[in-house]
Amino acid sequence: MNPISLARPLRPRSRIRLRKGHGQRHARGVSLIEILVAVLILSVGVLGLAGMQVRALRTSISSEQKTQAVVLAHYLLELMRVDRTSALDGLYNTTGGLTTPLCAVPAVPAAGSFASSELRDWMLSVQTGLGPAANPCVAVACDALGLCSVRLQWDDTAAGGLPDQSLTVTSRI
């Protein structure tokens, strides 16, 4: 006889027996509670992400307005460098200087007034660049020595910022 065939097959010493129906009843209730908790946690997370998205969008708009203000201020200073004589004569200056910004775009200037025409076009660019909801105001002052300042003010509350944002850029032309 073969010694391998005489050996008894190995059996586990203990068997776990489950009663039919006993564990199934409890498993359904636990699964339902787990799903409800998971959905609750997921919904809180999604609401948090939505709130962060709104905040990021507002911050992005505010940052874009500040960038536009810097670019537009430097653009006007470059225009005044090109037309230095008119800038030194004060033709680009707004009434009231830097203390009283001009919020309304002036009427179309008379023919032959390059400085007034360029200032008006620039102010239209400011309103377009910052947006009409920002209610932008500008002030320009240039002295006889060539020290020129450009000031922009706008309302940043639509983008989640302060209502009185301002930027002043000063340069010698």
| Segment 96-155, tens digit of pLDDT | 888 888 888 877 766 657 888 898 899 999 998 888 788 899 999 999 899 999 999 998
**Residues near 131 by Cβ (< 8 Å), separated by ≥ 6?**
65, 158
Tokens of 167: 């930027």
Which amino acid, one-letter code, is at 29?
G
Count, residues in the chain: 173
Question: Rounded CA gap, 91 and 115, in Å?
Answer: 6
Give the pTM: 0.69
Contact present, 76 and 120 (Cβ < 8 Å)? no
